[in-house]
Amino acid sequence: MPAMSDSLRDGKAERAVDAKTLDRYECRACGYVYEPEKGDPQNGVLPGIPFDELPATWHCPVCGAKSVAFQNLGPKDNPSGFKENLNYGLGVNRLTPGQKNILIFGALALGVLFFISLYGLQ
């Protein structure tokens, strides 16, 4: 077990769990999103390669823009919005976009069911 703690002390293990390597990047020209988990197999980029380690010759596979045209979106399933506002809104601001969709459309479906159930009153 000491070998594991030694590996945690050097920078390699910390880099492996660094959230920055999981960040997705979006092309500002066309909207293509580079995800490190998927890579870009069409252009020879294997899955697991962070955006910062892409070859200098890599371009957007959709529009051909250079890597400087990409902006950082953060990790996948990251809460949307500004970080300083995440503590407001009764915890709703910490939900991911998918969770917010379920909450909104679930509430709408319940409202429709409630409205339809009023026809059963006689």
Between 106 and 43, the higher pLDDT residue: 106
What are the structural domain ranges in the chain? 1-77, 79-122
> pLDDT tens digits for 67-116?
888 988 877 766 666 666 767 777 777 777 788 899 999 999 999 999 99
Average pLDDT of span 23-37 = 89
**Residue 89 phi, psi (nearest 5):** 85, 30
- The pTM score is 0.51
Asked whether the beta carbons of 74 and 34 are under 8 A apart, the reply is no
CATH number for the domain formed by residue range(s) 1-77: 2.20.28.10
